[in-house]
Amino acid sequence: MTKRLLGITAAAGALCAIVVFGVSANAPSPTVNFARDVAPILYNRCIECHRPGEIAPMSLVTYQDARPWAKSIKQRVVERSMPPWSADPSHAGKFANDPSLSQKEIDTITAWVNGGCPKGDDKDMPPMPKFAEGWTIGKPDVVLSMQEEYQIPADGTVPYLYFTIPTGFKEDKWVQAIEIRPGNRGVVHHVIAFSQDAGSSDAGGEAQRGRNQLGGITPNKTGVVFGPGTARLIKAGSNIVFQMHYTTNGEPTKDRTSIGLVFAKEPPTKTLVTGNALNARFVIPPGAANHEVKSSMTFRDDVHLTSFMPHMHFRGKDFTYTAVYPDGRSEVLLSVPKYDFNWQLTYILKEPKALPKGTKLECVAHFDNSTGNKFNPDPTKEVRWGDQTWEEMMIGWFGYVRDGDQRETAKSASRN
């Protein structure tokens, strides 16, 4: 009897040990807090824009900054609308400037908010990132600025503006690095810079003849240094044209944006070119919720694609780039299923995409001119091509280099 009791007692003890240690092994990790867990994510992904003096409407640098916005932060990261990035990961390559949060990072922020937003210990705060105070591309060989300051009102909507800056270049220039520096980051939402050939019109519009896109500054793109032996051409006598998107911030202010250029030290072996597949002959009917517009380009040489930048206005809904190879195969290179005009994003490939001669680049866009589009200026209007945001555009910008030593200005792509 005693032996049996001892056996039962031992078995019960073993079972208790299993239960206790089982619970211990699976115990939840320490409570997620701001200092140790959330701040590193914000510092790595968000505060380039969400800090004092930058374009974002609020700072997320400190706990006191972030705490009032906790629920909004959770909503935005769960729906993946912040950080801004619209590429569909299932139909795209790897991009060098993809700021998307990992699922683990999203889960961490969600757990912090759901847990009551604990602050944590200040000693666990990560060090503040160091942001460049000077030029990130190194000292420019030339800096060109808007000819005068532009006055931005305290409130209201500022339409897209175009500013022309003479270069004074007496000879062609090969550019190795480009950086745009706003005079007032608090009101400059984005800038796109173009070189305008001498003698061509410098009127507004992204797709003017003789206008070549140089680059821009957006929330996911600042200065850029091109690869070894690769450069952009700015022809003698060209002007620089800035397309400026200002946002008001409650106070009257001013801006004078500049562009810095570093010239190639040696003649380049490859030319970096910005091409486009556009369609300017569309008509979007009143009330149309999913109107399709197509465009395409065919490459005359072997090339390597480097980037994409789809462009539409407020009725833009989605945009897709597809390569159709000479053997008939097709491949989706970029799909933007929820285009947002407020974010003029450039998608820079981690590795250039090789396309053989004869490859057709097809672009397909859809527009929502219905009452269901909350950004629609007027769903009762028929919409055609135009520079203003209440009109529309359909441009599939793309960057590429021609393979081999082809520094001449002959075109490597033809519009179909």
- Residues 256-291: tens digit of each pLDDT: 999 999 999 988 988 899 999 999 999 999 999 999
CA atoms within 13 A on the CB side of 11: 6
Closest CA to 230 of 277, 177, 165, 283: 177
Contact 405, 301 (CB under 8 A): no
Contact 126, 43 (CB under 8 A): yes
- Residues 62-104: tens digit of each pLDDT: 999 999 999 999 999 999 999 999 999 887 678 988 999 999 9
Q: What's the length of the chain?
A: 416
Contact 296, 277 (CB under 8 A): yes
The topology (CATH level 3) of 272-415 is Jelly Rolls (2.60.120)
Contact 223, 135 (CB under 8 A): yes
Q: How far apart are CA 364 and CA 280, in angstroms?
A: 13
Residue owning tokens 């602050």: 119
Average pLDDT over the chain reads 86
Instruction: Decide if pLDDT at 407 tops 50.
Output: no
Q: How far apart are CA 378 and CA 376, in angstroms?
A: 6
3-class state of residue 25 by DSSP: helix
- Band the pLDDT of 16: cuts 50, 70, 90: very low
Angle 142-218-337 from CA coordinates, rounded to 5°: 145
Question: How many other C-beta atoms lie within 10 A of the C-beta of residue 173?
Answer: 20
Cis-peptide into 83, omega within 30 deg? yes
What pLDDT does residue 14 have? 38
Contact 259, 146 (CB under 8 A): no
142-267 and 272-415: identical CATH topology:
yes
- Residues 153-173: tens digit of each pLDDT: 999 989 889 999 999 999 999
What pLDDT does residue 175 have? 96
| CATH annotation of 142-267 | 2.60.120.230
3-class state of residue 148 by DSSP: coil
Contact 173, 261 (CB under 8 A): yes
Looking at per-residue pLDDT, the higher value among 131 and 19 belongs to: 131
Contact 261, 238 (CB under 8 A): no
For the residues of 77-145, what is the DSSP string, one character each? HHTT-SS-----GGG---BTT--PPPHHHHHHHHHHHHTT-----GGGPPPPPPPPSS-TT-S-SEEEE
Closest CA to 291 of 365, 374, 377: 365
3-class state of residue 361 by DSSP: strand
What pLDDT does residue 227 have? 84
What pLDDT does residue 57 have? 87
What pLDDT does residue 160 have? 86
Residue owning tokens 């994510």: 41
Contact 209, 200 (CB under 8 A): yes
Name the residue type at position 107.
Answer: D
Region 368-374: what's the mean pLDDT? 98
Contact 296, 289 (CB under 8 A): no
Region 179-197: what's the mean pLDDT? 89
- Band the pLDDT of 3: cuts 50, 70, 90: very low
pTM: 0.81
What SS3 string covers 208-275?
A: CCCEEEEEEEECCECCEECCCCEEEEECCCCEEEEEEEECCCCCCEEECCEEEEEECCCCCCEEEEEE
Spans of all domains in the chain = 1-27, 34-124, 142-267, 272-415
Q: Are strands 270-278 and 230-234 parallel, antiparallel or unpaired?
A: parallel
Looking at per-residue pLDDT, the higher value among 344 and 19 belongs to: 344
Q: How far apart are CA 405 and CA 313, in angstroms?
A: 37
